[in-house]
A = this chain, B = another copy of it.
Amino acid sequence: MGQITLKDIAQALNLSPSTVSRAMKNHPAISEDTKKLVQKYAEQHKYKPNTLAMQLRTNRNNTIGVIVPEIVHYFFSTVLSGIQEEAESEGYKLLFCHSQEDYEREVKSVETLIDARVCGILASQSKETQQYHHFQEIVDNNIRLVFFDRICTGINTDKVVVDDYAGAFNAVEYLISTGCSRIAFLGSHPSMPIANNRRMGYEDALRKHKLPILKEMNRVCDTPELAREVIPEMLQLNPHPDAFFCVNDEVAAYCMQISKSAGFKIPEEISVCGFTNSYITDVTDPTLTTVDQHGFEMGKVAARLLINRIEGKETKPGIVSRLIKTDLVIKGSTRK
């Protein structure tokens, strides 16, 4: 009923467990006859080595923990997909944790993963997180840690981030090249590095082209709820923005919707640019110009970096920081 063990095989075949163990792994010192005998018996009785026992011996479970802030989200699900593919191809299992943008849950996830004695952890922090004592705990427990996207600046560890600065810079410069000059920035809370880097890219592009950096053109607006509140206000400005550079595709989509129903033509009067290149960019009307973040690649790169660290292949001391290049994808929401 329960699984058959090495001992069972040994008993049945009048051999010692050690011989059976060796026979199963084709140890050279075992006679062909014995090997065949053992392997045939194992096959017939569907013997499966007990992973748990192995894990206890080696104190390794070939498992990577991953903490995602919000899985119902194009970007993060893409990253997870990349992580999974890379992990699987290297023989690692994935323990999935979901902070749901909640600090307490994030802390609990970390505890769970440390407790499970995973070989390494891939994490992106929640929007709420302000302390990082729990992440430090990971490091203190000698567990490899790689942050992706939403990195925690307080912890000195490997990370993989999108080149937010360049992504924003290039997008804004493109908007300028099409004749936009009053470009609004809809960002995220400045406590997140990604928000700051994008703002800097945005501002530097304006500076380079001698456009003014106006305070009223820069707002925190990273959810549909905020969009409904903030965007109508900005459309009231005189002169109104002639372009919106948005922190994500969803906000950009709402931005188009709100602007259209306020009577503005897109892209003729107002250009809108998103960030991520999720599937919504193809179903809005017009389709949405956006910055591709290559989430899948980020996942693969992060997983690979972590695995290399675990296996001692990434020998570089100090911390490694990988940058994922972005690509501006021009669709229909920006003027030509």
Interface string of A271-292 (1 = CB under 8 A from B): 0000000011011110000000
Copies of this chain in the oligomer: 2
Min C-beta distance of A248 to chain B, whole Å: 11
Complexed CA–CA distance, A1 and B141 (Å):
8
Stretch at the interface among A15-23, A49-57, A190-198, A322-330: A49-57
Q: How many residues of A contact B (CB 8 A)?
A: 56
Using a CB-CB cutoff of 8 Å, which residues 56-81 of chain A contact chain B? 56, 59, 61, 63, 66, 71-74, 77-78, 80-81
A56 to chain B, nearest CB (A): 5
**Do A52 and B48 contact each other (CB < 8 Å), given the known contacts A95-B93, A96-B96, A283-B250?**
no
Say which residue of B48, B56, B71, B95 sits within 8 Å of A77 (CB atoms).
Answer: B71
One digit per residue, 1 when the CB lies within 8 angstroms of any chain B CB and 0 when it does not, for chain A 91-112 equals 0011111101000010010001
> Taking A78-B72, A117-B52, A284-B285 as contacts, is the C-beta distance between A94 and B95 under 8 angstroms?
yes
Which residues of A are in contact with B by a Cβ distance under 8 Å?
1-3, 46, 48, 50-53, 55-56, 59, 61, 63, 66, 71-74, 77-78, 80-81, 84-85, 88, 93-98, 100, 105, 108, 112, 114-117, 140-142, 224, 250, 253-254, 256-257, 260, 279-280, 282-285
**Which single residue of chain B is at the shortest CB-CB distance from A114?**
B48
On chain B, the residues within 8 Å of A283 by CB distance are 250, 253-254, 256-257, 280, 283-284
